[in-house]
């Protein structure tokens, strides 16, 4: 695992954007796995800036979002469809037909989940997956006690996730209880993964994911088994890491490494 500790959330976002740009420059038709939440907002802003100012091209890019709330229509302001459109897609040149986000309203969720998995494979698999992390250590909506081999499916949200996300809704009762989410197994098949985290609220989850045991109770800990994963965190989110100085030492020595 590569652990990059940046002084600020802005630097965290810029580092992540550079990783995305590098993938797109090497493979213009890359498949990106994308996340929602407040954490990747700065990354998306930076990608929009790179598109406008440096000509970063998304015309051949395909995307798959991690998750969506069950029951929210695409135009609901708290749906992840709406979030992605407002914060990224409407500002870049990605063809509409290349965008995939789990459908929050469908007659047959099981068939949809199966189709989503097949579609990822048909598109050649995910080249780069962007992740955030929940305060309980979840990735996407893979709540504690998720199977580490899980695939795209419906999950019941944990109380903490519902409470954390209530800030985006006018009333806590409005937060959906179910979500469609890529599984841990789905995420683990991405060629490369970057996980972003900022703020003190994420410090315990980041430490458990990187330095704790691999466990379905902290689904981000499964990333320890991935061969190409980079954690990009700010100082606050890195605060509980026991080996923090070592990671910073590696980072400082990186330019001279053989
Ligand atoms: C939700 C999303 C996750 C995200 C998490 C953290 O649970 N499903 O993908 O990582 O929120 O959100 P935030 O970045 O707002 O802290």
76: helix, strand or coil: coil
Exposed/middle/buried for residue 164 (C-beta within 10 Å: 0-12, 13-18, 19+): middle
Instruction: Tell me how far apart the alpha carbons of residues 56 and 25 are, in angstroms, rounded to a whole number.
Output: 8
> What number is the average pLDDT over the span 240-258?
94
**Which run of H or E residues covers position 230?**
strand 229-234
Q: Does the annotation mark 67 as catalytic?
A: yes
Domains of the chain (ranges; CATH) run: 2-256 (3.40.50.1360)
pTM of full prediction above 0.85: yes
Q: Does the annotation mark 107 as catalytic?
A: no
Pocket test of ligand 1: the residue of 68, 132, 183 to mutate, having most ligand atoms within 8 Å of its CB, is 132
pLDDT in tens, 38-78: 999 999 999 999 999 999 999 999 999 999 999 999 999 99
99: helix, strand or coil: strand
Instruction: Tell me how far apart the alpha carbons of residues 183 and 55 are, in angstroms, rounded to a whole number.
Output: 34
């Amino acid at each position: 695992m590569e652990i990059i500790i940046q002084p600020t959330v802005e630097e965290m976002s810029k580092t992540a954007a550079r990783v995305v740009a590098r993938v797109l420059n090497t493979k213009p038709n890359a498949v990106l796995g994308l996340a929602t939440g407040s954490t990747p907002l700065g990354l998306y802003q930076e990608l929009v800036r790179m598109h406008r100012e440096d000509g970063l091209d998304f015309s051949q890019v395909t995307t798959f979002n991690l998750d969506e709330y069950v029951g929210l229509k695409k135009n609901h302001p708290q749906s992840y469809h709406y979030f992605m459109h407002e914060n990224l897609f409407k500002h870049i040149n990605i063809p509409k037909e290349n965008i995939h986000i789990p459908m929050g309203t469908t007659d047959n969720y099981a068939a949809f989940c199966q189709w989503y998995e097949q579609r990822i494979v048909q598109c050649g698999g995910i080249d780069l997956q962007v992740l955030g992390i929940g305060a309980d250590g979840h990735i996407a909506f893979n709540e504690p006690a998720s199977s580490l081999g899980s695939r795209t499916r419906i999950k019941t949200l944990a109380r903490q996730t519902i409470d954390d996300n209530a800030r985006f809704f006018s009333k806590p009762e409005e937060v959906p209880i179910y979500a469609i989410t890529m599984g841990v197994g789905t995420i683990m098949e991405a060629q490369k993964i970057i996980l972003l985290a900022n703020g003190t609220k994420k410090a315990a989850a980041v430490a458990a994911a990187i330095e704790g045991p691999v466990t379905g109770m902290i689904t981000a800990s499964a990333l320890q088994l991935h061969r190409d994963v980079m954690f990009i965190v700010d100082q606050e989110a890195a605060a509980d890491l026991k080996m923090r100085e070592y990671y910073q030492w590696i980072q400082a020595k990186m330019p001279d490494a053989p």
